[in-house]
């Protein structure tokens, strides 16, 4: 039986490694190939045309939606099965994905095991057959190229930085970097929002394994203190309550909501999605 080629485009290196190991356990797939940014992903797809593409929406340089749109419109006679995994799960996002003829869509946080199982169900239900020779085995190294302002760009870190800049907090501060990482993790895995302690712990471990949850909590508090003592008009619009009521948990919850809304608005305004 000819094996199925799988390509993964996701900037979460740990998730990709786990996903590759899961696919390697199945005899039905070739060794899964990976790219960690949209530029490498699109180049690989154009060159190798893998049978199945598992892609995140938010990627550096070219985002996932641009890549899907490019495949559907610009590569004739190439119809891969496309499986989208994203932190975005709103009705607006769902409508965009439906317009791009995606075969399967999962909202994070989903386990690598579930992704492989869903893929197997997908190919069985659609009576999948391998239409081309196996792709060459080429692994790309994780990197983040500089953004080109002319390229579509839906990348979570960019939106977080823009949000914090509008809040008026300097991006070079250590506390800001901790805050940005915490917001990124909360956006990527909403289950972390159920416990602030767990969110602080996970943030500390992702930055420096020895960084404690108490240290992260202090850094977030420092960010909130800076913002409330130097309030911008944007901050006043987003947090109309009394300044002393803006505590860590309120800031984090509101920020996650506001950044998600910003991303959804960005999606809606992208010309290639209309």
CATH of domain 6-150: 3.40.50.2300
For residue 87, report the phi and psi dihedrals to the nearest 5 degrees.
Answer: -80, -15
Which residues make Cβ contacts (< 8 Å) with residue 225, sequence separation at least 6? none
What are the domain boundaries of the chain?
6-150, 156-268
Rg (CA), the chain: 20
Best CA proximity match to 56, nearest among 116, 95, 98, 109: 109
Could you tell me what percentage of the chain is helix, strand and coil, using 3-state DSSP and rounding each to the nearest 5? 55, 10, 35
Best CA proximity match to 234, nearest among 160, 159, 164, 161: 164
Cα separation, 89 vs 97, in Å, equals: 10
pTM over 0.95: no
CATH of domain 156-268: 1.10.10.10
| pLDDT tens for the 274 residues of the chain, in order | 678 899 999 988 888 999 999 998 888 888 889 999 888 999 999 999 999 999 998 887 788 888 888 888 888 888 899 999 887 766 666 777 777 778 888 877 788 889 988 888 877 776 555 554 444 444 444 434 444 444 545 677 888 999 999 999 998 898 999 999 999 888 877 788 889 999 999 999 988 888 899 999 999 999 999 999 999 999 999 998 888 889 999 999 999 989 888 877 776 666 544 4
Sheet of strand 81-86, all strands in order from the earlier edge strand to the far edge: 33-35, 6-9, 52-56, 81-86, 104-107
- Helices and strands: H and E segment counts in the chain: 11, 5
Cβ atoms within 10 A of the Cβ of 138, count? Answer: 12
In what helix (H) or strand (E) does residue 31 lie, and over which residues does it extend?
none
Cα separation, 179 vs 222, in Å, equals: 9
**Cβ–Cβ < 8 Å for 239, 246:** yes
Cα 236 off chain centre by: 29
Its sign, for the CA torsion 182, 187, 193, 199, is: negative
């Amino acid at each position: 039986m000819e094996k199925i080629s799988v390509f993964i485009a996701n900037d979460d290196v740990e998730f990709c490694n786990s996903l590759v190991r899961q696919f390697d356990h199945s005899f039905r797939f070739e060794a899964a190939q990976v790219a960690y940014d949209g530029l490498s992903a699109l180049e690989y797809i154009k060159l190798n045309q893998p049978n199945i593409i598992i892609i995140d929406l938010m990627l550096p340089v070219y985002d996932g939606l641009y890549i899907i749109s490019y495949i559907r419109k610009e590569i004739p006679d190439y119809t891969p099965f496309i499986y989208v995994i994203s932190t975005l799960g709103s009705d607006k996002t769902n409508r965009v994905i439906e317009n791009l003829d995606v075969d399967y869509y999962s909202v994070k946080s989903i386990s690598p095991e579930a992704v492989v199982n869903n893929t197997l169900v997908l190919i069985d239900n659609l009576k999948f057959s391998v239409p081309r020779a196996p792709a060459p085995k080429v692994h790309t190294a994780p990197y983040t190229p500089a953004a080109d302002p002319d390229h579509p760009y839906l990348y979570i870190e960019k939106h977080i930085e823009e949000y914090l800049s509008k809040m008026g907090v300097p991006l070079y501060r250590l506390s800001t970097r901790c805050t940005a990482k915490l917001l990124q993790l909360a956006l990527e895995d909403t289950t972390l929002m159920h416990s602030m302690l767990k969110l602080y712990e996970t943030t500390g471990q992702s930055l420096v394994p020895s960084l404690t949850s108490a240290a992260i909590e202090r850094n977030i508090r420092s960010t909130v203190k800076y913002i409330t003592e130097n309030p911008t008009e944007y901050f006043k619009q987003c947090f109309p309550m009394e300044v002393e009521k803006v505590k860590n948990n309120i800031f984090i919850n509101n920020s996650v909501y506001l950044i998600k809304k910003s991303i959804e608005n960005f999606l809606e305004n992208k010309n290639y999605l209309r």
